[in-house]
Amino acid sequence: MSWANDISPKGFILLGFSDKPWLQMPLLVVLLISYTFTIFGSVSIMIVCILDPKLHTPMYFFLTNLSILDLCYTISTVPHMLANICHNKKTISYGGCVAQLIIFLALGATECLLLAVMSFDRFVAICRPLHYIVIMNPWFCLRMAAFSWLTGFSNSVLQSSLTLNMPRCGHQEVGHFFCEVPALLKLSCADTKPIEAELFFFSVLILLIPGTLILISYGFIDQAVLKIKSSEGRRKAFRTCRSHMVVVSLFFGTGIYMYLQPPSSTSKDWGKMDSLFYGIITPMLNPLIYSLRNKDMKKAFKRVMSRIFLY
């Protein structure tokens, strides 16, 4: 029985690597490992940041938000991908595809903005240490986090509406593992250039502007750090920002490659691998980067674990 007969006319077929069946098992292993690490790592960071009073600072407030994002990112795509691989079934309902598209876009845009806010937090901490408590007050941090989430979801609704309103002329085979804008645009039987131009504009706002602000923030941070006379002080300042820069490089690099070029020019297989990286691998790496390379997190984790076991 063909896949087309297994779904309703409004559903989609997610091809993934169907043309490369030998990749199914390695992909299954990678997904299971990344899913396990992301769930455990993100939940652990959230628990530690909430339960340890010493981590009730702006930096760890934003890190908690980032962990929530990574958790939702993974849950929105990986379980369905695992089910499709295990059952050799490559389908998704129209409603499921819409939900996946909106959630994935919203979380991606929110993370771009949140990473920019986190870089501003590091800028104030290093370049304006005497004013840090005043500038990064709880009300300001809450507003910045809320702005990131609301803007991310607003952008998602706009981009999703533009993408889903394109005529598909009955095309159902999505050359991807999940519903994403570039893959869905390739199903259109109409000229997609006007829509691509609008989507490019939104992508520039969400990717390039926060990315530019991050670079500016770290430019000022570098200047401030180089003025520190103590080598130990310089190492400590750089260590504070290193984790954030690794995350930013991984996320923005792959996101820019995927969204700031026309879907028609994106290599089919490279587009899939790129999406797997920033949508699945990066959320797995974030908890590892922030916990294993952060002395405060490791100490807090030990304190929380000892408190739990003592009770």
Q: What is the CATH number of the domain that holds 65?
A: 1.20.1070.10
pLDDT digits over 156-181, tens only? 998 888 888 888 776 777 877 788 88
Residue 246 has pLDDT above 60, yes or no: yes
Residue 21 has pLDDT above 50, yes or no: yes
Q: What pLDDT, on the 0 to 100 scale, is given for residue 5? A: 39
pLDDT digits over 24-48, tens only? 788 888 888 888 888 988 898 898 8
Number of domains present in the structure of the chain: 1
Residue 118 has pLDDT above 80, yes or no: yes
pLDDT digits over 200-234, tens only? 888 888 888 888 898 898 888 888 877 777 777 67
Q: What pLDDT, on the 0 to 100 scale, is given for residue 269? A: 61
Q: What is the mean pLDDT of residues 6-12?
A: 56
User: Which of 72, 76, 84 lies closest to 16 in space, CA to CA?
Assistant: 84
| Domain around 270 | 3-310
Q: What pLDDT, on the 0 to 100 scale, is given for residue 141? A: 94
DSSP letters spanning 106-155: HHHHHHHHHHHHHHHHHHHHHHSGGGHHHHT-HHHHHHHHHHHHHHHHHH
Residue 9 has pLDDT above 60, yes or no: no
Q: What pLDDT, on the 0 to 100 scale, is given for residue 1? A: 35
CA atoms within 13 A on the CB side of 195: 22
Q: Distance between CA 200 and CA 194 in Å, rounded?
A: 10
Residue 237 has pLDDT above 90, yes or no: no
User: Which residue's structure tokens are 């990986």?
Assistant: 78
Residue 265 CA to chain centroid, in angstroms? Answer: 23
Q: What is the mean pLDDT of residues 187-211?
A: 82
- Predicted model pTM: 0.85
CA atoms within 13 A on the CB side of 32: 9
Q: Distance between CA 160 and CA 103 in Å, rounded?
A: 10
Q: What is the mean pLDDT of residues 123-144?
A: 92
Q: What is the mean pLDDT of residues 182-186?
A: 82
Q: What pLDDT, on the 0 to 100 scale, is given for residue 7? A: 42
Q: What is the mean pLDDT of residues 182-199?
A: 80
Mean pLDDT, the chain, whole residue set: 81
Q: What pLDDT, on the 0 to 100 scale, is given for residue 81? A: 83
Q: What pLDDT, on the 0 to 100 scale, is given for residue 148? A: 94
